[in-house]
Amino acid sequence: MIIEQIYTGCLAQGAYYIESEGQAAIIDPLRETTPYLAKAKANGAAIKYIFETHFHADFVSGHLDLAKKSGAQIVYGPNASTEYEKYEAKDNEEFKLGKLTFRVLHTPGHTPESTTYLLLDENNKAHAIFSGDTLFIGDVGRPDLAQKSASLTKEDLAAWLYDSLRNKIMPLPDDVIVYPAHGAGSACGKNMSKETWDTLGNQKRTNYALRADMTKEEFVQEVTDGLLPPPQYFAKNAKMNKTGYESIDIVMNRGARALSPRAFEAVANETGALLLDVRNKTTFVKGFIPNSIFIGLDGSFAPWVGALITDLRQEILIIAPEGKEEETIKRLARVGYDNAIGYLDGGFDAWKDAGYEVDQIQTININDLEKAYTNDSSINILDVRKPGEWSGEHIETAQHFALDYINDNMSAIHKEKLYYLHCRSGYRSTVASSILKSRGYKSLINVQGAFDDITQSSIPTSNYVCPSTLK
């Protein structure tokens, strides 16, 4: 028996490769198919099943392409209606994989079709569960991502989730291993652990949602309390997973078009494509193509793309470090942005060397911010961190301007004012600065450095939260 977790940090997502007697199953694959096909080929195995735990909202699954290339059968649990061919399993139905058995446990709550797959070993002993977004390490899936109508509320789904956990998962043996679809950093839960697997027994002891004495009413309250609006791309990705999408091969070929600086400029002017710069934040601020947006590959790239670029059909031109163009196209496709139409051949240096116009963002460190604040405590500071970070501690005089909701809150700032932007490390403030600059805000100073350094400086901080500042 082989069980391998294939974890992708950018999405905090776990896919799984399970193999027995030359037969393999893939659970919740990402958009690209090569890693799974290559692994099976190297092991001399054939992929028999592609098990999907639910209609994922935070990424586009690779089930359709993988099924076409491997001949494997796509399997969902009950209530999973799709516009493509798949097998809809019944609750408690079993699937053989070599000497192993997968048992379908319908566990609605995160979504109506959410399903957990119980793996039985060759002795028919419960070995592991692949719990999707039903059960995480330290948390459970949020119940507000699959509302079909006003009659199905997040409270209704939370109540279903309570029953699923108590009736289907918690009765399993304590030594069963829990393999979830996500870890810390995913927006599919509220407080996931950085660990990516655990025993069910330990989760029963430590996961707040599995407390034995917890009533359904208490569970519903705790699971639904404090939920922020989901990123705008979640519903769109879920729809793609349900209805189908273009082959990843077509997407990759469309984006892999090398453009000279002259051709790049011409295509940008002709199409109105978004210029996406994915270099390091430190390199970006020193020089970039005017009106380009920064979302660096070295951060949580795909989730930020999904949160900030509101149209999945948006045509995108890429400015990437040389050798990172294909990776950029692939990571865009993971969250449904399939319309990359080319990249700048030779990267930003080629643009600069060709004599084209270059822009910059004024950037300072924490010491410089401290000096500016000491000289004038009335300077306008924008804190672009998440609401939870802001409420934990922030500069007393700062204005909360969360990057997650920047598209909804542009009217909260004014073009005639000078703003200092900061976050936890400088990544998000650089993203925000690039967006504002592309929209005509010129008086911006980007602060790069750790928020911990701000708390150690003379700049006064507070954990007082004015409700009107939270977006």
What count of other Cβ atoms lies within 10 Å of the Cβ of residue 352?
Answer: 16
196 plus 344 within the same structural domain: no
311 plus 439 within the same structural domain: no
236, 265, 281: which is the final residue of a domain? 236
Residues 6+ apart with CB under 8 A from 465: 390, 391
Is 454 a domain residue?
Answer: yes
CA distance 462 to 265: 46
208 plus 315 within the same structural domain: no
CA distance 436 to 286: 17
Residues 6+ apart with CB under 8 A from 429: 384, 421, 422, 423, 446, 447, 448
Is 126 a domain residue?
Answer: yes
CA distance 49 to 95: 9
209, 236, 263: which is the final residue of a domain? 236
pLDDT tens-place values along the chain, 471 residues long: 999 999 998 899 999 999 999 999 999 999 999 999 999 999 999 999 999 999 999 999 999 999 999 999 999 999 999 999 999 999 999 999 999 999 999 999 999 999 999 999 999 999 999 999 999 999 999 999 875 555 789 999 999 999 999 999 999 999 999 999 999 888 888 778 889 999 999 999 999 999 999 999 999 999 999 888 888 999 999 999 999 999 999 999 999 999 999 999 999 999 999 999 999 999 999 999 999 999 999 988 999 999 999 999 999 999 999 999 999 999 999 999 999 999 999 999 999 999 999 999 999 999 999 999 999 999 999 999 999 899 999 999 999 999 999 999 999 999 999 999 999 999 999 999 999 999 999 999 999 999 999 999 999 999 866 544 443
Is 203 a domain residue?
Answer: yes
Is 132 a domain residue?
Answer: yes
Q: Say what angle helices 325-333 and 248-255 make with each other, to 10 degrees.
A: 140
Look up the CATH number of the domain holding residue 280. 3.40.250.10
Residues 6+ apart with CB under 8 A from 424: 385, 389, 450, 451
60 plus 190 within the same structural domain: yes
Output b/e per residue, 140-158; b: 16+ Cβ within 10 A. Answer: bbbbbbbbeeeeeebeebb
219 plus 256 within the same structural domain: no
Tokens describing residue 422: 């900061």
251 plus 195 within the same structural domain: no
Query: In this structure, are residues 299 and 427 in contact, taking their beta carbons and an 8 Å threshold?
Result: yes
Instruction: From residue 355, give the alpha-carbon distance in Å to each of 262, 294, 321.
Output: 11, 21, 19
Is 59 a domain residue?
Answer: yes
Overall residue count recorded for the chain in this entry? 471
Residue found by looking up tokens 């911006």 in the block: 444
Look up the CATH number of the domain holding residue 49. 3.60.15.10
117 plus 166 within the same structural domain: yes
CA distance 409 to 159: 34
137 plus 218 within the same structural domain: yes
CA distance 247 to 25: 21
Is 346 a domain residue?
Answer: yes
Instruction: From residue 200, give the alpha-carbon distance in Å to each of 12, 53, 186.
Output: 20, 18, 21
37 plus 167 within the same structural domain: yes
pLDDT confidence of residue 463: 83
CA distance 30 to 334: 7
Query: In this structure, are residues 113 and 80 in contact, taking their beta carbons and an 8 Å threshold?
Result: yes
pLDDT confidence of residue 199: 98
Q: What's the pTM?
A: 0.92
265 plus 341 within the same structural domain: yes
Cα Rg for the chain, rounded, in angstroms?
Answer: 24
Using DSSP's 3-state secondary structure scheme, residue 297 falls into coil
In this structure, which amino acid lies at residue 203? Q
Query: In this structure, are residues 5 and 37 in contact, taking their beta carbons and an 8 Å threshold?
Result: no
CA distance 67 to 61: 11
236, 254, 275: which is the final residue of a domain? 236
pLDDT confidence of residue 148: 57
Tokens describing residue 380: 């306008």
Is 358 a domain residue?
Answer: no
221 plus 155 within the same structural domain: yes
Instruction: From residue 296, give the alpha-carbon distance in Å to each of 32, 69, 278.
Output: 20, 32, 4
In 3D space, the residue among 67, 160, 180 whose CA is nearest the CA of residue 112 turns out to be 160
159 plus 185 within the same structural domain: yes
Report how many domains make up the chain.
3
**Taking CA 434 as the corner, what is the angle to CA 329 and CA 358, rounded to the nearest 5 degrees?**
90
Instruction: From residue 255, give the alpha-carbon distance in Å to each of 288, 329, 339.
Output: 21, 6, 7
Q: What DSSP line would sit under 63-97, residue for residue?
A: HHHHHHHH-PEEEE-TT---SS--EEPPTT-EEEE
Look up the domain containing 271 and give its range.
246-353
Is 241 a domain residue?
Answer: no
Sign of CA dihedral 311, 190, 56, 44: positive
